[in-house]
């Protein structure tokens, strides 16, 4: 792997124009699976407390990018920084990342409280502090009183709330969400989107959200990175993505594109 360990993350402007250090930065990150190019030279900077969405069709590379940030995959080229620290070769458990999966990934034999406490116990947090933070997390996701239940006793939406609480209770530097609402029905998905955005704003946690749903991306995001065939095609605020698409793919995938064939005369 090509490494430039002497590089310092470049500052980027926040919405007020002030220069700040990115919470997450990818510099030319590439990932191959055999002969297949899953991610081609991804360049991305995410501001502290920003809600960044990776939007694209299935197989476009968005989950691969998420897994590279999480440390579940190793990049073939390029560098990854979290909070200014080079983490390209840092193991996943040392990156202080919270992650929520599509299928919840809860331990079925554990209670709700023990599921949420798992990450704290593995980090050696004291028992009294674990109990306090688990109670806080349950209140945050509106599940106070559910501590002793098992996952099988919960609805899909409740299980996803437990998964979110487990990801947040460790106070992560970055929260990663991989299609977290795709298994929920339309009405529940809408209410969970509102709740997640409220929690994210309240905590100010930097968030990377993966979805193929254009409406979800446009309504929830501070900025969107539209992806196709392993490449980031455009990074912009939702309104700019919708009104000023960078190319034909972005125009057709995100909105109703009017594309006319013509010739110069």
28 vs 13: which has the higher pLDDT: 28
Q: Which of 29-38, 131-140, 250-259 has the lowest mean pLDDT?
A: 250-259
Residues paired with 27 in a beta bridge:
79
Using alpha carbons only, give the angle 106, 109, 114 rounded to the nearest 5 degrees.
65
| 97-100: strand order across its sheet | 97-100, 174-178, 206-211, 51-55, 223-228, 231-236
* The pLDDT value given to residue 2: 37
Q: What's the mean per-residue pLDDT of the chain?
A: 91
Each residue of 124-171: pLDDT tens digit?
999 999 999 999 999 999 999 999 999 999 998 999 999 999 999 999
The residues near 69 (Cβ < 8 Å, ≥ 6 apart) are 24, 26, 80, 82, 97, 174, 176, 208
Predicted model pTM? 0.89
**pLDDT tens figures, 92-110:** 999 999 999 988 899 999 9
Q: Sign of the CA dihedral 203, 205, 211, 216? A: positive
Q: How many CB atoms lie within 10 A of CB 194?
A: 11
**The token pair that represents 69 in the structure block:** 């940030």
């Amino acid at each position: 792997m090509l490494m430039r360990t002497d590089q310092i993350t470049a500052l980027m402007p926040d919405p007020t124009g002030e220069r700040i250090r990115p919470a997450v930065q990818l510099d030319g990150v590439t990932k191959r699976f055999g002969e297949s190019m899953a991610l081609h030279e991804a360049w991305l900077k995410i501001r502290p407390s920003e809600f960044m969405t990776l939007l694209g069709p299935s197989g476009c590379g968005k989950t691969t990018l998420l897994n590279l940030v999480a440390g579940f995959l190793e990049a073939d080229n390029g560098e990854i920084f979290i909070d200014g620290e080079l983490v390209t070769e840092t193991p996943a458990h040392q990156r202080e990342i919270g992650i929520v999966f599509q299928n919840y990934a809860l331990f079925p034999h554990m209670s709700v409280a023990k599921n949420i406490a798992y990450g704290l116990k593995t980090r050696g947090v004291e028992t009294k502090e674990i109990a306090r933070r688990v109670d806080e997390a349950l209140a945050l996701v509106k599940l106070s009183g559910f501590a002793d239940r098992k996952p099988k006793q919960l609805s899909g939406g409740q299980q996803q709330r437990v998964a979110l609480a487990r990801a947040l209770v460790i106070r992560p530097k970055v929260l990663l969400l991989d299609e977290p609402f795709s298994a929920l029905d339309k009405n529940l998905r809408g209410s969970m989107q509102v709740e997640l955005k409220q929690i994210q704003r309240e905590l100010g946690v930097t968030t990377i959200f993966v979805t193929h749903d254009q409406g979800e991306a446009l309504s929830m995001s501070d900025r969107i990175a539209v992806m196709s065939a392993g490449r980031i095609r455009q990074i912009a605020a939702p309104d700019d993505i919708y009104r000023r698409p960078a190319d034909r793919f972005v125009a057709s995938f995100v909105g109703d594109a009017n594309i006319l064939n013509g010739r110069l005369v």
